[in-house]
Amino acid sequence: MLKISSLKKLVTDSMAVDLGTASTIIAVKGRGVVLDEPSLVAINELTEEIVAFGQEAADMTGREGRDIIVKAPMIGGVVGDFERTKKMLAHFVKKAKTGGSNISLQAVMSMVSDVTHVEQRALMNAADEAGIGRVFMMEEGLAAAFGAGVLPTDKRASAIVDIGAGTTNVAIVAKGSVVHSTSERYGSNAINDVVATHLRRHRGLQVGEETTESMKANFVSTFLPDDISKTLEVRGRDVQTGSPAAVEVTTGELYPIVEAVVRRIAQLVKDTLTELRPEVAADVYDRGVILTGGGALLDGIDQYMRAYINLAVTVADEPRYATVNGLIKMFDDPKLLERVTNNELHVLQNAEIPFEA
């Protein structure tokens, strides 16, 4: 009789990990996206211990108990707090794993294109300590392109703009390689910041992250609304008295401050598109630009971008999952995986230029 336990079959999970500033998204080959949680940890300030991760930590945000503080260990798309990133990643990886402890793991992870030597090493070490046996690192822009449907065999160039929480990454991809890219540590979270600052300085109301996030998803728009007097009641804390309070804001009042953020992102795209070689520029002229990342969900951002850069602009399906969907596809094609992943630290980019006396 054949006993299952006697079959010493090595089971491997192939994972794709998009460790973002706002969210960590993990897909497992054959199972699709299995985890999508805020990149947050809740810490007991007295003991320094982590008491909650991800969604559970997010649910405490703004209403933390006296000794609890909620923190984002990833900043601007890179590891800001190594110890906590490591623990958070280990927690998520364990949660996303298919079965018992003896499942081996290989993972492909994304990294921002201008990642430094130090930042990349921190990510790789975190993956190592999370029990990932083999880790492949891949440029985020390329992953987002594949996830948005760009084919690795396509000879012509495609332009992908990933607007994340803390980064905006513009990648021009052809023949399965990044031919040009720019990235800025500035993303959709800047909208939350300007809205909160506006409310505090001009309306005397302090608001929390949950409030600005919900305003962004449901009220804010990047094209001048037909009805600029549409109002929303926003609740928070009165700056003067400290008491709970509410103010009414209008779409017309928020439009210019949000527009300034989106304009800066659109300008980065516009500038990048002026740096292309003629043939690449011709392809982009024909095909336009694809938006990915959670920032692409902002109401009207595609329209705004279209008008600003004068090219076709489309939003990828499931824009928040474009990167992870692209990463997981790499396990279907080992040759491509090998070619596009780069575990060599970016030595050249960060090397100091030797000083010759």
Ligand X SMILES: Nc1ncnc2c1ncn2[C@@H]1O[C@H](COP(=O)(O)OP(=O)(O)OP(=O)(O)O)[C@@H](O)[C@H]1O
Residues that bind Mg ion (CB under 5 A): 20, 164
Q: How far apart are CA 47 and CA 51, in angstroms?
A: 10
Query: At closest approach, how far in Å is the CB of 202 from Mg ion?
Result: 31
Segment 221-280, which members bind ligand X (CB under 6 A)? none
How far apart are alpha carbons 141 and 167 in whole angstroms? 11
Q: Which of 167, 181, 182, 221 binds ligand X (CB under 6 A)?
A: 167
Only segment of 26-34, 91-99, 162-170, 258-266 that touches ligand X (CB under 6 A): 162-170
Question: Residue 189 or 251: which CB sits closer to ligand X?
Answer: 189
210 lies in the binding site for ligand X (CB under 6 A): no
Single-letter code of the amino acid located at 303: Q
Q: Does 85 bind ligand X (CB under 6 A)?
A: no
**Residue 100 per-residue DSSP state:** S
User: Per rule CB under 6 A, is residue 165 in the interface with ligand X?
Assistant: yes
The DSSP 8-state label assigned to residue 22 in this structure reads S
Q: Is 320 in the site for ligand X (CB under 6 A)?
A: yes
Among 152, 166, 176, 225, binds ligand X (CB under 6 A): 166
Shortest reach from residue 239's CB to ligand X, in Å: 24
Residue 87 as a binder of ligand X (CB under 6 A): the answer is no
d(Cα 195, Cα 191) in Å, to the nearest integer?
A: 6
H/E run at residue 119: helix 117-129
Residue of the chain from 54, 77, 141, 236 that contacts ligand X (CB under 6 A): 77
Least Å from the CB of residue 326 to ligand X: 13
Cβ-Cβ contacts under 8 Å for 305 (sequence gap 6 or more): 161, 266, 269, 289, 291, 313
Residues in the chain: 357
How far apart CA 342 and CA 346 sit, in angstroms, is: 9
Instruction: Kindly state the smallest distance separating residue 90's Cβ from ligand X, in Å.
Output: 18
Nearer to ligand X, 111 or 280 (CB): 111
The label of the residue with tokens 């280990």 reads 90
164 is a site residue for ligand X (CB under 6 A)? yes
* Single-letter code of the amino acid located at 140: E
Is residue 287 within 8 Å of residue 159, measured between CB atoms? yes
Beta carbon nearer to Mg ion, 152 or 164? 164
Among 189, 211, 222, 341, binds ligand X (CB under 6 A): 189
∠ at Cα 149 (309, 337), nearest 5°? 120
What is the distance in angstroms between the CA of the first residue and the CA of the last residue of the chain?
77
Q: Residue 44 forms beta bridges with which residues? A: 68
C-beta of residue 306 within 8 angstroms of C-beta of residue 315: no
Stretch that binds ligand X, among 119-127, 163-171, 226-234, 252-260 (CB under 6 A): 163-171
Q: Distance (Å, rounded) from C-alpha 59 to C-alpha 53?
A: 10
- Select 20 or 147, whichever has its Cβ closest to Mg ion: 20
> Of 152 and 326, which has the nearer Cβ to Mg ion?
326
Contact with ligand X (CB under 6 A) among 15, 22, 33, 309: 22
**By CB under 6 A, is residue 188 in contact with ligand X?**
yes
Q: Whole-number minimum distance, CB 189 to Mg ion, in Å?
A: 11
Nearer to Mg ion, 20 or 225 (CB): 20
